[in-house]
Amino acid sequence: MGAEVRASNPLYEGPHLRVSEFVEKGHLGGAWEWAAHTHQTMQITIVSRHSSLQANWVNDCGSKRRKRISGPAVCVTPAFQRHSMEWDEAHGSIIMLISPDLLGGELRSNSIIQESYGGCDPFLEHLGNLSTRGRDAGMPFSRIYAESTAVILLEHLGRHAAPSRAREYSGCGRLGQVIDYINANLAAELSIVELARIAQASPFHFARGFKASTGVTPHQYVLERRIETAKSLLAAGHLSIADVSYACGFATQAHLTTVFRRLVGVTPKAYRMCAV
């Protein structure tokens, strides 16, 4: 475990999801030859184009499997599956550990998302790149962003594994109550799990129903509402820009500035100067 902590960078760690990126270059032998283990979470490994490893696992029939994998590639390890990964190079690879609480009953009980080791998936590679680029651009992983990313990933895997069972969602139940809750708690750390409880749905199905109703993901909707609130507070001129960022749920003033410039086209300071 000591080597794992030193060579990996936690992008996000919350009650239902953990996302880590390997940041050390070079051969990862010795302690990096992970002993066979299981865990209660699903593991998604996005193997970067610079990485390679040997995956070992036991399938549902009890047979041992082994495969050499070079990136870019994706490994999907279901919860409770015994496996190990022996990395030759891990730099830039991302591991996501996803709690069953984020899965819809359909995915959890019918095992639609199956094991997969070494498959090519440009969409998931792109999703991983977006996550690290956002971090590098000063946009920290918020809880709702991390959980939304996990839901998008799960939906993609579910559609890919069982396209005949994929279905469109007509909308989000109790949408008005969900939106009222968001507007009343913009300064708080909102989460997909929390909003799904209000909608009386699983996080997986809530996120898809919300987008069907509003045209945007929950994370996008929350960002837009936070920016609109920030615009009002900046125009009022009573709070510092730092206080505006905290009042709207941004982790730092730099986080607000990055998102504000991307969505509005100017910095919060420039917007205030024109609005006041």
Q: What CATH architecture is 220-275?
A: Orthogonal Bundle (1.10)
Q: What is the dihedral of CA 94, 72, 116, 156, to 10 degrees?
A: 70
More confident residue, 243 or 101: 243
Amino acid (1-letter code) at residue 192? I
- pLDDT of 182 reads 95
Above 60 in pLDDT, residue 49?
Answer: yes
The pLDDT of residue 274 is above 50: yes
What letters, b where the CB count within 10 A reaches 16 and e where it falls short, cover 207-229? bbbbbebbeebbbbbbbebbbeb
- DSSP, residue by residue, the chain: -HHHHHHEEEEEE-SSEEEEEE---S---GGGBPPPB--SSEEEEEE-TT-EEEEEEE-TTS-EEEEEEESSEEEEE-TT--EEEEEEE-TT-EEEEE-GGGS-HHHHHH--S--EEEE--HHHHHHHHHHHHHHHTT----HHHHHHHHHHHHHHHHHHH-GGG-------TTHHHHHHHHHHTTTS---HHHHHHHHTS-HHHHHHHHHHHHSS-HHHHHHHHHHHHHHHHHHH--S-HHHHHHHTT-SSHHHHHHHHHHHHSS-HHHHHHHH-
pLDDT band at 137 (very low <50, low <70, confident <90, very high): low
pLDDT at 2: 35
Predicted confidence at residue 5, as pLDDT, reads 36
User: Over the stretch 169-186, which tens digit does the pLDDT of each residue have?
Assistant: 555 668 889 999 999 999
**What value does the mean pLDDT of the chain take?**
82
Whether 245 has a pLDDT exceeding 90, the answer reads: yes
Confidence of residue 32 (pLDDT cuts 50, 70, 90): very low
CATH of domain 2-142: 2.60.120.10
Q: Which of residues 200 and 35 earns the better pLDDT score?
A: 200
